[in-house]
Structure 1
Amino acid sequence: MNRIPMRSVGDLAVLSVLSLLAVAGYETSFGDADFLLAAIGGLIVGTAAAVVGTLFRLGVLTTVLVGFAAYFLLGTPFTMPDQGILVVLPSLASLAGLALGAVYGWADIVTIGTPVEAPYYVAAVPYVATWVVSLVGGMLALRWLPSRRSPLRAAVLLIGPVVLYISGILLGTDEAYLAAVRGIAFAVIALVWLAWRRSGTIETAGTPDRRLAVRRLGGASAVVAGAVAVGAVAGLAWAPAASDRFVLRDEVVPPFDAREFPSPLAGFRNYTKDLVEEPVFTVSGLEPGDQIRLASMDAYSGRLWTVAGPEEAADGGYAIVGETLPQPSLADLGSERTIEVDVLAYDDVWVPTVGYGERLRLLDADTAARAGDLRYSADTGTAVLTSGLGEGAHYELTARMQREPDDDALVDVPVANVDLPSVQNVPDVVTAKAEEYVGDAASAIEQIRAIEQGLKTNGFLSHGLASDAVASRAGHGADRLIELFTRSEMVGDEEQYAAAMALMVREHLGYPARVVMGFAPEISEGQDEVEVLGGDVTAWVEVPFEGVGWVSFRPTPDQVDVPQEQTPKPKSEPQPQVRQPPRNESVEDDLLSTVEIDDTDDDDRDRPFQIPGWVWVLAGSIGIPLAIVFLPMLVVSLIKASRRKRRLAAGADRSAAGAWDELVDRYAELGFEPPTIGSRRQIAAALERQAVEQGLADPARQLAPLAVDVDDDVFSGAQVADETVERRWSEADAAAAAIASAAGGIRRFVSRYRLSRRARATRRAERRAGRRDAR
């Protein structure tokens, strides 16, 4: 077993500290320091794998395989303890999450709204980042750096932490996390370490004047201090503003496009006709006057009001979120609500909410398993579950309500400048009616109220039901709005009036406006749970005011008694009656035959036995960790078997020598250090000395006689008999088994992962020796 020098321990410590400073930049994405547990876990696991590989003299490939095994076996408690078995043991879900996070987490983290809390595997991103840096950096510090200690090689070790530092910037947000403090600390530690490495190199070189080394170390320290001072001043003077900071999330368009789903407003009449008396969901925690928000639509094509695409939305559209929801950029928030929703007959992708959400928890198992499908738009306060929200879903929402001041307080408040997609194909009659309703109104709030009152007082309400006095056609396309304003009486429901008012405000006044669809159930004071019916569906208009937020307007009239148009009824003319032929009820019995129908499901007939799901989960939870542990062992065993077969198949004298090489390789794989250059007797003596030091003298005494016999076989010049070759291999196998038995179970187990590269090292050493002799 190798020993790790204290200088290398110091290198590992510096590497770990720099990595922690670098990964701290992820704080702006995750919103708190919880991700540090995963980052520290990655450092521990990666460094431990590098140390184990060095202590037990494992090859680079074997060390990497050990690192992979440790990554999966030990990563669960650091990244996703909720998915583990008893928190610490890996499960099928946690193993899959560690794999998915390493591959897809990097893309998810720049499309998820901050703070990043979903999907469940996203914590694997800082874990795998620090794991890679510590594993690769640890192997370089323990294997490559000690062979030639130079500042240039030490600088190579800094590449990993520097890349990690840059990733913290690119994956973060516009707001940097302790940028000056972290940057200065990183630079000081890195430069001082390089200076210490430089001084250590001078001292190792044996310079006679130690004062020169001290002088150089002092000079290096002065340079470091100067560089830090200049960097600090320059950083404070020329640090980019938050808006100029380059981060990947500003360059990546979220993959979700709400236009892939039908416009919610297009299905308005489905609630007023088919689900009017049907409970769609129940809500607890509401207060009188609260309205449930379903979707906000801010784009009009001439056919439909729809949700803007991600390239048109002011806030970038709907982003993946966790339990914590991002806050709106424009809102004056007041009282808090905590509601619980149980979904009944409702079946759509839009998640019913109130106000502007702060935290959303999916409580039922089925919906919680699809938490990665949740998207949220902070500025509209609406959420989408792309896989659909159906019966049985249960969730809890904590939100704050928008304060809406009275009109007197808004007289001098301008409408906020919010970029919305332009409306298209707006009928001229809509603009003409808006001009008529606005009249001489001066302020923005007075103009918008004038349009609202004009629709409310001049129109009539009708959902197009059979019980309504006048028919009302569904839809809110250009043709339907023309019909709304050109009939003798305006007749429609919330769908038409909200669509018309939003277009009036947008097209005539030039103010941003959007249509919101939701539910307005009747809520009594102190009522704990409210049953929301399909007939409670409604729609309204929202317009943003500077410093206030989106103020709601409800243009739908309350009056339903539409004046009847006096139209003459056509007279009916009697038609001659025609005698119908008699109906033949007879059926020929002999044309009918009895058919037996087999109700058995075809899938059940094809699959007489089905393996329960829990068996697959158990098999995966146990089988995958076992595969991680034993598959590398199997690969190494196959390589060793191929090596042994190749040596056995060589010529007689070479096969006898191969028996000795096989024995020496077995010693090396048990942790001994055979000389790369030397005769068989010298190698036997060196291995015997090491065995005596480790208390394994008796098994090693078989080496010297076997070395003498193999030398005689190789150098005698006589043909080596097959019986002799077999005897040499039997003696070598017996000697290898004896030393393996004496070494103990742990060393035998580790040796199964080791693959001796002694032959290759011997050839390299002989070539170096030949070059030295030539010089």
Structure 2
Amino acid sequence: MSIDATASRRSRAGERVTRQAADRPSIFGMPSRDSLVDLAFALALVTIALVGFRTGFIGWEWVLAAGAGVVIGTLVAHVAHVRSWPLIITALVLVVTHFVLGGPVAVRGDLIGGVLPSVQTFQDLAVTPVTGWKEWLTLLPPVDARGPLVALPWLTGLLGSAATYGVARRFANVGAAALAPVILLIGSIALGTQQPAAKLVQGVLFALVLILWLVARAARTRAAMQNGAGRQARTITSVALLVVAALAGSFLGQFLPGTDEGSARAVVRTELTPPYDVAQFTSPLSGFRRYTEPNSADLYDTEILRVTGLPQGAPLRFATLDNYDGLVWGAADRAMDGTPFQQVGSRIAPRSTGDPVTATVTVPEGGYQGAWLPIAGSTTGVRFTGTRSDDLADALWLNTATETAVVPALVQPGDTYSFDAVVDPRTWSDKLPKELDVASGGQVAEDTSFLDAKLDAWTGQAGSPWEKFAAVAKTMTQDGAYTDGGTANSYEKVYLPGHALGRLGRFVGSTQLAGNDEQYAATLALAGNRLGIPTRVVMGAIPASDGAVKGKDVHAWVEVQEDNGTWHALLPSTFLPDRNKKPNEQQLKSEEQKVGAQVPPPAGVNPPSVLQGPDQAQNATDIKKKKRNPLDISAWPLWLKLLVLALVLPLLLALTAYVVIRWLKSRRRRRHASTGPTPSRAAWVWRDLVTDARSLGIVVPRGATRLEQATAFPESVAAEPIATGANLAVFGPGDPEPEVATALLADADLVRRELRGSVSRWRRVRSDFDLRPLLERDRRKRTDGRRLPTLPSIRRARGAEGTA
């Protein structure tokens, strides 16, 4: 081989290297035209996909977090492409970016000085991407966008934009660029709510933008001589097809099955059952006599709550009781329409119209205690203050269909909280309405046929279901008597508490109705459902004019469902007799002689004690505490968990990845040199050496011959003999011996070690993490999927022709 030929090859290789370096944009310089096109389309597609978070969060904070994530993720992907970072290095940079910038951008609640992340910030950023998705899906949507969950749109934008732009710049395949944005779109829809975020934007606009991007990328792979031919015709045809597709998707798509407003949208959120059961808490109606007089609790004249900011006459709701099991009216885990109790944050999306109010509730000493949180109207936000604020706020459950809130940590004397609500005075009545458009369909499964005889007598000639219901309420007010059971020596002691079927059967079976709110409200609700009107019981209080709530202000009333789906409250004054109207003693004695003394109803489930925690019984028997296992992570202090999570665990993962990637590369090189035809083995030895050289930062031209590529190696490295040996094995006469590929592999390993010794240690580590050698594929494949003929087969064919 002449010196002039070698110099000519080195010159041509140098020209290719210079041209490839010119095509690669610098970090601070102007990106190339293709880079700008990919950048614009990537930003547009990721932004459209993230619109799906709109129905899952309330507030603008999530928009800022997602937008910042998209911009920063794109910037990281651009730098990674320019600097040829391996995938593992890019991933580590994204992780560091998440922890360093995630606090100021997304999780801003516990920042030091409003800028620097704190230990709590790092903990939120580490835990939320793992457990936050389940928490977000089980919370009542839309979720308050001012807590740790904002890290979800921030991280999605960061990783989604980095993946979309990074894949587009690193891979020339046209369809590869569509993978990340399509996954983002599907994920945002599946994790959204039953209310679509933006049908036209995520349906039509996303498809149009994606098609345009794929067309632009496909034009780059077309041969240079074909790019100009027919460009105008192709452009007109593409625009026409896009217009037709957009019009079809916009106007005809709404007639497809499942797109009508009545169809339920299948999303992940609806398939999850919140892991909470309110049946563990006793119905507050069972303890109604705690607030009456006389009573050992002495709450009748005791202030149990202090409410400010609530309109005069607005009822304060303890709990809505919409399930009757024959023993008690209790709160169902899911309302009649299937709405479950869901955990909520400090802000809740409004669900009705009315007057917005902000009320503050204080629990004085010796006052209210229980799991049911007193609220009013349609709640739009709850904020706890005081020493137990975090414990109460961490587990606040709300049923939006019944407007009932539960706090498992129990509301206790000394607690203070504020709630925002929408209050509509038209939703309650202290006088029985003459007309009311009520819905139809009872919701009580128990047999209440014992009411039929009394309903016939009470309703008389009433026609419509509401007229019959009103007649029952009027009969209770006019003919009934009020009693709380009286003292131990009083004749009223025979009127026992409870509202089981047996107790209510005796209540309506007496000549004179006699009881308090518990019996009257429970019976009226059963009567309403018997008449075909959805009716439920509410336990609550009506604050005095000064905002004080005493035991005597606690009442039970009923709600009936109107024809438009809303619930109308009928306060106690609409069906309860005057408190001073006591039962007739003579009539009571006469009935006792006929029927016998009243028998107490069967005892229900006792409520959990407020003085003893759920696990104190077990702790009382387990006096000697068991020694904790040092390997038990739950026993570690917080600082040790954070140290392992932030330092030790990433180092172990990085070390494991380092060892696994190096082993896979070595195994791949040996397999290439030992399997298949010998020419293919020799070709793979050179191809693997070139790929490893590129990962070490050596610019080896693509599309050049092996000898031209060998000139790009440092002069101190003997790469040209390996290229010559590979050429002889591929293009030489006959099939070489398998030992030729093995010898070339040994020589290539020596060159590989020399190359690694000529670069810095940091460059060697980056090369070891580079996954591109594992992704290298045989480029001798046609686009139609059929393999091109190998050189040995060509030589055999030529030999056959010569023989012929």
Check whether TM > 0.5: yes
1:52-451, aligned counterparts within 5 Å?
52-85=79-112, 91=118, 93-98=120-125, 101-117=128-144, 120-145=147-172, 153-154=174-175, 156-202=176-222, 204-207=223-226, 210-235=228-253, 240-244=259-263, 246-248=265-267, 251-252=270-271, 254-255=273-274, 256-272=276-292, 273-277=295-299, 279-310=303-334, 313-314=336-337, 316-328=339-351, 333-334=354-355, 336-342=357-363, 345-364=367-386, 366-368=388-390, 371=393, 373-404=395-426, 410-411=433-434, 413-417=435-439, 421-426=443-448, 428=450, 430-441=451-462, 447-451=468-472
CA distance in 1, matches of 2:429, 2:90: 70
What is the SS of the residue equivalent to 2:361?
strand
CA distance in 2, matches of 1:166, 1:205: 36
Letter in 2 for 1:283: V
Shift of 1:17: 0.8
Letter in 2 for 1:229: L
Check conservation: 1:45, 1:74, Cα contact below 8 A: no
Structure 2 unaligned runs (5+)?
A: 1-20, 26-31, 591-622, 668-688, 726-748, 781-786, 795-804
Q: Is the 8 A contact 1:254 1:318 kept in 2?
A: no
Q: Secondary structure at 1:396's aligned position in 2?
A: strand
Structure 2 counterparts to residues 343-742 of structure 1, below 5 A? 345-364=367-386, 366-368=388-390, 371=393, 373-404=395-426, 410-411=433-434, 413-417=435-439, 421-426=443-448, 428=450, 430-441=451-462, 447-457=468-478, 458-463=480-485, 465-466=487-488, 470-471=492-493, 472-487=495-510, 489-507=512-530, 509-524=531-546, 530=548, 532-546=549-563, 549-554=567-572, 555-557=575-577, 558-559=579-580, 561-565=582-586, 616-621=637-642, 624-627=645-648, 630-635=651-656, 638=659, 671-673=697-699, 686-688=712-714, 739-740=759-760
- C-alpha contact 2:339 2:400 (8 A) present in aligned 1: no
Taking the aligned partners of 2:466 and 2:788, their CA distance within structure 1 comes to: 92
Question: Is the alpha carbon distance of 1:730 and 1:463 closer, same or farther for their aligned partners in structure 2, counting shifts above 3 Å?
Answer: farther
2:179 partner letter: I
* Aligned partners of 1:349 and 1:386 also within 8 Å: yes
Cα shift readout 1:193-220 (whole Å, capped 9, x = no counterpart): 2332333333x44338x24234323332
Distance 2:218 2:437 in 1: 64
| Structure 1 pair 129–512 and aligned structure 2 pair: CA distance change class (3 A) | same
C-alpha distance 495-234 of structure 1, shift in aligned 2 (>3 A): same
Q: Distance in 1 between matches of 2:699 and 2:349?
A: 59
TM-score of the superposed pair, with normalisation by structure 2: 0.69
Pairwise CA distance, 1:352 = 0.6
Give the 3 Å change call, closer, same or farther, for CA 342–677 of structure 1 in structure 2. Answer: same
The structural deviation recorded for 1:94 is: 4.5
Q: Does the Cα contact within 8 Å between 1:171 and 1:247 map onto a contact in 2?
A: no
Is the 2:375–2:405 contact (alpha carbons within 8 Å) kept by the matching residues of 1? Answer: yes
* Partner of residue 63, structure 2: 36
CA contact under 8 A between 1:265 and 1:517: conserved in structure 2?
yes
Deviation at 1:292, TM superposition (A): 1.7
| Structure 1 residue 20 displacement after superposition | 0.8
Q: Distance in 1 between matches of 2:126 and 2:544?
A: 49
> Helix, strand or coil: the match of 1:501?
helix
Q: Are 1:58 and 1:755, in contact at CA under 8 Å, matched by a contact in 2? A: no
Aligned match of 2:608: none
**Displacement after TM superposition at 1:294 (Å):** 0.5
- Which amino acid counterpart does residue 543 of structure 1 have in structure 2? V
User: Which residue number corresponds to residue 738 of structure 2?
Assistant: none
Q: CA deviation at 1:305?
A: 1.0
Does the 8 Å CA contact 1:293/1:352 hold for their aligned counterparts? yes
Measure the CA separation in 2 of the matches of 1:762 and 1:521.
77
Amino acid in the other structure paired with 1:193 = W
- Judged with a 3 Å threshold, the aligned counterparts in structure 2 of structure 1 residues 703 and 756 are, in CA distance, closer, same or farther, namely farther
Measured at CA, do residues 289 and 679 of structure 1 come closer, stay the same or move farther in structure 2, by a change above 3 Å? closer
How many equivalent residue pairs? Answer: 674
Q: CA deviation at 1:478?
A: 1.1
Of residues 87-96 and 175-184 in structure 1, the stretch that sits farther from structure 2 once superposed is 87-96
Cα 1:406/1:268, change in 2 over 3 Å: closer
Quote the Cα distance in structure 2 between the aligned partners of 1:108 and 1:551.
33
Q: 1:733 to 1:370 in 2, by over 3 A?
A: farther
Q: Which moved more, 1:107-116 or 1:392-401?
A: 107-116
CA RMSD of aligned residues (A): 5.0
| 2:539/2:556 contact within 8 Å kept | yes
Contact 1:110–1:248 at 8 Å: present in 2 too?
Answer: no
The one-letter amino acid paired with 2:516 is D
1:363–1:395 CA contact under 8 A, matched in 2: yes
AA of the residue aligned to 1:298: D
Q: How far is the alpha carbon of 1:618 from its aligned partner?
A: 4.5
Alpha-carbon offset, residue 291 of structure 1 = 2.8
TM-score for the superposition, normalised by structure 1: 0.72
Identity of aligned residues (%): 25
CA distance in 1, matches of 2:430, 2:705: 101
Evaluate the alpha carbon distance shift between residue 735 and residue 771 of structure 1 in structure 2; reply closer, same or farther with a 3 A threshold. closer
1:11 to 1:436, Cα distance in 2 relative to 1, 3 A: same
Deviation at 1:564, TM superposition (A): 3.4
Match of 1:11 in 2: 38
